[in-house]
Amino acid sequence: MRWLVVAAALALVATSATLYIRVAVLTPVLAILWPLGDVPGAEATKVVYVESGQALSYATVPIMGRGQLITNTSGWYAHLAKGEGAPPAGAAAVLPAAEGSVGITLADGSALELWNYNGTHGAVVHADAAGARRAWAAQIIQTFGGVYVWHPAAPDAALRDFVALKAGGPVHLFIPSADYVKFDGSTYIMYYDYYDGASWTYKAGALTWSSAAFTELAANTPFAADGLERVQLPNGAPAYAYWPTLAYHYNPSATQPYTTYLRAESG
Protein backbone atom coordinates (compact mmCIF):
# COMPACT_ATOMS: atom_id res chain seq x y z
CA MET A 1 0.00 0.00 0.00
CA ARG A 2 1.17 3.53 -0.75
CA TRP A 3 0.45 6.57 1.36
CA LEU A 4 0.07 10.27 0.59
CA VAL A 5 2.43 11.85 3.09
CA VAL A 6 3.70 15.35 2.32
CA ALA A 7 2.26 18.66 1.10
CA ALA A 8 4.06 22.05 0.93
CA ALA A 9 4.04 25.27 -1.10
CA LEU A 10 6.10 28.01 -2.74
CA ALA A 11 6.43 31.77 -2.89
CA LEU A 12 9.28 33.87 -4.23
CA VAL A 13 9.60 37.03 -2.12
CA ALA A 14 6.53 37.44 0.07
CA THR A 15 5.29 37.86 3.61
CA SER A 16 4.14 34.25 3.83
CA ALA A 17 3.95 31.03 1.85
CA THR A 18 1.91 28.01 2.80
CA LEU A 19 -0.04 25.25 1.18
CA TYR A 20 -3.28 27.17 1.53
CA ILE A 21 -2.49 30.88 1.26
CA ARG A 22 -0.11 32.99 -0.75
CA VAL A 23 0.10 36.66 0.25
CA ALA A 24 2.14 38.50 -2.37
CA VAL A 25 3.19 41.57 -0.40
CA LEU A 26 6.68 42.27 -1.62
CA THR A 27 7.97 44.89 0.83
CA PRO A 28 9.80 45.06 3.08
CA VAL A 29 12.30 42.56 1.73
CA LEU A 30 13.21 40.38 4.69
CA ALA A 31 13.27 36.88 3.27
CA ILE A 32 13.31 34.74 0.16
CA LEU A 33 10.73 32.01 0.67
CA TRP A 34 11.14 28.50 -0.77
CA PRO A 35 14.27 29.39 -2.76
CA LEU A 36 14.85 25.74 -3.62
CA GLY A 37 11.93 25.90 -6.04
CA ASP A 38 10.96 22.30 -5.35
CA VAL A 39 7.24 23.08 -5.09
CA PRO A 40 6.36 25.05 -8.25
CA GLY A 41 3.28 27.23 -8.43
CA ALA A 42 1.49 29.53 -6.01
CA GLU A 43 -0.62 26.88 -4.32
CA ALA A 44 0.90 23.64 -5.60
CA THR A 45 1.06 20.47 -3.56
CA LYS A 46 4.19 18.41 -3.16
CA VAL A 47 3.29 14.73 -2.88
CA VAL A 48 5.71 12.08 -1.68
CA TYR A 49 4.80 8.38 -1.72
CA VAL A 50 6.38 5.69 0.43
CA GLU A 51 5.54 2.06 1.05
CA SER A 52 3.63 1.45 4.28
CA GLY A 53 6.05 0.96 7.17
CA GLN A 54 9.01 2.46 5.31
CA ALA A 55 10.90 5.64 6.19
CA LEU A 56 9.89 8.97 4.70
CA SER A 57 12.65 11.51 4.11
CA TYR A 58 12.13 14.91 2.47
CA ALA A 59 14.66 17.78 2.41
CA THR A 60 14.26 21.38 1.30
CA VAL A 61 15.40 24.98 1.77
CA PRO A 62 12.25 26.84 2.86
CA ILE A 63 13.67 30.29 3.61
CA MET A 64 16.70 32.52 3.18
CA GLY A 65 16.87 35.61 5.35
CA ARG A 66 14.77 36.59 8.36
CA GLY A 67 11.46 34.94 9.09
CA GLN A 68 9.81 32.03 10.80
CA LEU A 69 8.68 28.50 10.05
CA ILE A 70 5.45 26.91 11.27
CA THR A 71 4.22 23.36 10.80
CA ASN A 72 1.08 21.48 11.75
CA THR A 73 2.75 18.17 12.66
CA SER A 74 5.82 16.73 14.29
CA GLY A 75 8.66 15.41 12.14
CA TRP A 76 10.04 18.69 10.76
CA TYR A 77 13.56 19.88 11.65
CA ALA A 78 15.33 23.15 10.77
CA HIS A 79 18.80 24.69 10.97
CA LEU A 80 20.11 28.17 10.11
CA ALA A 81 23.25 27.56 8.02
CA LYS A 82 24.77 31.03 8.28
CA GLY A 83 28.46 31.05 7.38
CA GLU A 84 28.60 27.27 7.07
CA GLY A 85 29.52 26.87 3.42
CA ALA A 86 26.26 27.31 1.55
CA PRO A 87 26.38 30.79 -0.01
CA PRO A 88 23.87 33.52 0.77
CA ALA A 89 21.65 35.13 -1.83
CA GLY A 90 21.60 38.91 -2.02
CA ALA A 91 19.72 42.09 -2.82
CA ALA A 92 20.61 45.70 -3.49
CA ALA A 93 18.84 49.00 -4.08
CA VAL A 94 20.64 49.40 -7.40
CA LEU A 95 20.94 47.20 -10.49
CA PRO A 96 24.40 47.24 -12.04
CA ALA A 97 24.84 47.56 -15.79
CA ALA A 98 24.80 44.35 -17.84
CA GLU A 99 27.97 42.33 -17.19
CA GLY A 100 28.60 44.50 -14.13
CA SER A 101 28.29 43.90 -10.41
CA VAL A 102 27.84 45.44 -7.00
CA GLY A 103 30.12 44.24 -4.23
CA ILE A 104 29.19 43.77 -0.57
CA THR A 105 31.51 43.10 2.38
CA LEU A 106 29.78 40.99 5.02
CA ALA A 107 30.25 41.11 8.79
CA ASP A 108 32.62 38.13 8.80
CA GLY A 109 34.87 39.82 6.21
CA SER A 110 33.73 37.65 3.33
CA ALA A 111 32.77 39.22 0.00
CA LEU A 112 29.49 38.95 -1.89
CA GLU A 113 29.21 40.03 -5.52
CA LEU A 114 25.84 40.46 -7.23
CA TRP A 115 26.33 40.20 -11.01
CA ASN A 116 23.85 41.32 -13.68
CA TYR A 117 23.80 39.14 -16.78
CA ASN A 118 20.98 40.60 -18.87
CA GLY A 119 18.68 42.56 -16.56
CA THR A 120 16.54 39.57 -15.58
CA HIS A 121 19.19 37.04 -14.57
CA GLY A 122 22.61 37.08 -12.99
CA ALA A 123 24.90 35.43 -10.49
CA VAL A 124 25.69 35.61 -6.79
CA VAL A 125 29.33 34.85 -6.00
CA HIS A 126 30.45 34.52 -2.38
CA ALA A 127 34.17 34.44 -1.50
CA ASP A 128 35.10 33.39 2.03
CA ALA A 129 38.13 34.58 3.98
CA ALA A 130 40.27 31.86 2.40
CA GLY A 131 39.20 32.89 -1.10
CA ALA A 132 37.03 29.84 -1.84
CA ARG A 133 34.17 30.81 -4.14
CA ARG A 134 30.62 29.51 -3.97
CA ALA A 135 27.79 30.72 -6.16
CA TRP A 136 24.15 30.71 -7.18
CA ALA A 137 22.77 31.45 -10.60
CA ALA A 138 19.90 33.85 -10.04
CA GLN A 139 16.77 35.45 -11.38
CA ILE A 140 16.76 39.18 -10.65
CA ILE A 141 13.40 40.31 -9.24
CA GLN A 142 12.58 43.96 -8.57
CA THR A 143 10.21 44.41 -5.63
CA PHE A 144 7.60 47.15 -5.32
CA GLY A 145 9.98 48.91 -2.97
CA GLY A 146 12.62 49.20 -5.67
CA VAL A 147 15.01 46.61 -4.28
CA TYR A 148 16.56 44.10 -6.70
CA VAL A 149 16.64 40.56 -5.33
CA TRP A 150 18.99 37.91 -6.72
CA HIS A 151 16.77 34.84 -6.26
CA PRO A 152 18.51 31.45 -6.72
CA ALA A 153 17.57 29.86 -10.05
CA ALA A 154 18.53 26.78 -12.04
CA PRO A 155 21.04 27.85 -14.71
CA ASP A 156 20.91 27.20 -18.44
CA ALA A 157 24.20 26.79 -20.33
CA ALA A 158 24.65 30.52 -20.93
CA LEU A 159 24.05 31.44 -17.29
CA ARG A 160 26.32 28.63 -16.12
CA ASP A 161 29.09 30.05 -18.36
CA PHE A 162 28.42 33.50 -16.91
CA VAL A 163 28.86 32.17 -13.37
CA ALA A 164 32.17 30.56 -14.35
CA LEU A 165 33.39 33.75 -16.02
CA LYS A 166 32.51 36.09 -13.18
CA ALA A 167 33.81 33.77 -10.48
CA GLY A 168 37.19 34.22 -12.14
CA GLY A 169 38.38 30.68 -11.39
CA PRO A 170 37.27 27.54 -9.59
CA VAL A 171 33.80 27.83 -8.10
CA HIS A 172 31.22 25.64 -6.37
CA LEU A 173 27.79 26.23 -7.93
CA PHE A 174 24.75 25.40 -5.80
CA ILE A 175 21.60 24.41 -7.69
CA PRO A 176 18.09 25.23 -6.38
CA SER A 177 16.63 21.85 -7.26
CA ALA A 178 15.12 19.07 -5.17
CA ASP A 179 17.55 16.51 -6.56
CA TYR A 180 20.46 18.51 -5.08
CA VAL A 181 19.39 18.10 -1.45
CA LYS A 182 18.48 15.06 0.59
CA PHE A 183 18.28 13.73 4.13
CA ASP A 184 19.50 10.16 4.48
CA GLY A 185 18.18 9.52 7.99
CA SER A 186 21.16 11.00 9.82
CA THR A 187 22.74 13.61 7.53
CA TYR A 188 21.42 16.55 5.53
CA ILE A 189 23.27 16.68 2.19
CA MET A 190 23.50 19.60 -0.22
CA TYR A 191 25.25 18.82 -3.50
CA TYR A 192 27.03 21.32 -5.75
CA ASP A 193 28.54 21.43 -9.22
CA TYR A 194 32.20 22.35 -9.55
CA TYR A 195 34.01 24.42 -12.18
CA ASP A 196 37.77 23.79 -12.10
CA GLY A 197 38.67 26.68 -14.40
CA ALA A 198 38.14 24.67 -17.58
CA SER A 199 35.04 22.48 -17.31
CA TRP A 200 32.11 21.59 -15.09
CA THR A 201 31.61 18.46 -13.02
CA TYR A 202 28.03 17.86 -11.93
CA LYS A 203 27.39 16.91 -8.31
CA ALA A 204 31.13 16.97 -7.77
CA GLY A 205 30.78 17.15 -3.99
CA ALA A 206 28.48 18.10 -1.16
CA LEU A 207 28.15 19.97 2.09
CA THR A 208 26.80 17.93 4.98
CA TRP A 209 25.16 18.65 8.32
CA SER A 210 24.48 16.12 11.05
CA SER A 211 20.89 15.77 12.22
CA ALA A 212 22.22 16.80 15.65
CA ALA A 213 22.62 20.36 14.31
CA PHE A 214 18.88 20.64 13.60
CA THR A 215 16.09 21.74 15.91
CA GLU A 216 12.83 19.82 15.88
CA LEU A 217 9.88 22.09 15.17
CA ALA A 218 6.95 21.86 17.56
CA ALA A 219 3.55 21.77 15.87
CA ASN A 220 1.84 25.17 15.62
CA THR A 221 4.79 26.91 17.29
CA PRO A 222 6.84 29.46 15.29
CA PHE A 223 10.53 28.73 14.77
CA ALA A 224 12.52 31.95 14.28
CA ALA A 225 15.32 32.02 11.73
CA ASP A 226 17.40 35.17 11.37
CA GLY A 227 19.63 34.78 8.35
CA LEU A 228 19.26 38.39 7.18
CA GLU A 229 22.33 40.60 7.09
CA ARG A 230 21.83 44.28 6.30
CA VAL A 231 24.83 46.05 4.79
CA GLN A 232 25.56 49.11 2.68
CA LEU A 233 27.04 49.60 -0.76
CA PRO A 234 30.01 51.97 -1.04
CA ASN A 235 27.62 54.78 -2.06
CA GLY A 236 25.51 54.22 1.05
CA ALA A 237 22.62 52.48 -0.71
CA PRO A 238 21.13 49.53 1.21
CA ALA A 239 21.97 45.95 0.40
CA TYR A 240 21.17 42.59 1.97
CA ALA A 241 22.57 39.09 2.31
CA TYR A 242 20.17 36.18 2.82
CA TRP A 243 21.64 33.12 4.52
CA PRO A 244 19.77 29.82 4.10
CA THR A 245 17.75 27.89 6.63
CA LEU A 246 17.71 24.16 5.88
CA ALA A 247 14.80 21.89 6.73
CA TYR A 248 13.78 18.28 6.45
CA HIS A 249 10.80 16.11 7.30
CA TYR A 250 11.55 12.63 8.57
CA ASN A 251 9.28 9.80 9.62
CA PRO A 252 11.12 6.52 10.25
CA SER A 253 8.01 4.44 9.59
CA ALA A 254 5.02 5.93 7.80
CA THR A 255 2.12 3.54 8.39
CA GLN A 256 -0.85 5.91 7.98
CA PRO A 257 -1.62 8.54 5.33
CA TYR A 258 -1.22 12.11 6.54
CA THR A 259 -0.73 15.62 5.23
CA THR A 260 1.88 17.91 6.69
CA TYR A 261 2.89 21.43 5.75
CA LEU A 262 5.73 23.81 6.49
CA ARG A 263 4.78 27.48 6.30
CA ALA A 264 7.47 30.10 5.80
CA GLU A 265 6.78 33.70 6.84
CA SER A 266 8.94 36.74 6.28
CA GLY A 267 9.70 39.24 8.99
Categorize the per-residue pLDDT at 256 as very low, low, confident or very high, splitting at 50, 70 and 90: confident
Q: What is the pTM of this model?
A: 0.88
As for how many domains the chain has, the answer is: 1
The mean pLDDT value for 92-112 works out to 94
| Domain range enclosing 161 | 2-266
Percentage, residues of the chain above pLDDT 90: 66
At 260 the pLDDT is 84
Burial of 44 (0-12, 13-18, 19+ CB in 10 A): middle
Closest CA to 22 of 44, 48, 1, 6: 44
Tell me which range, 20-24, 128-132, 145-149, 197-201, is most confidently predicted by mean pLDDT. 197-201
Q: Find the mean pLDDT for residues 153-181.
A: 96
Given this model, what pLDDT does residue 44 score?
A: 58
Question: Given pLDDT bands bounded at 50, 70 and 90, which one contains residue 38?
Answer: confident
Are 81 and 215 a contacting pair, CB within 8 Å?
no
Q: What's the mean pLDDT in 217-221?
A: 96
Q: Rg of the Cα trace of the chain? A: 18
Angle at 222 between CA 85 and CA 242, to 5 degrees: 30
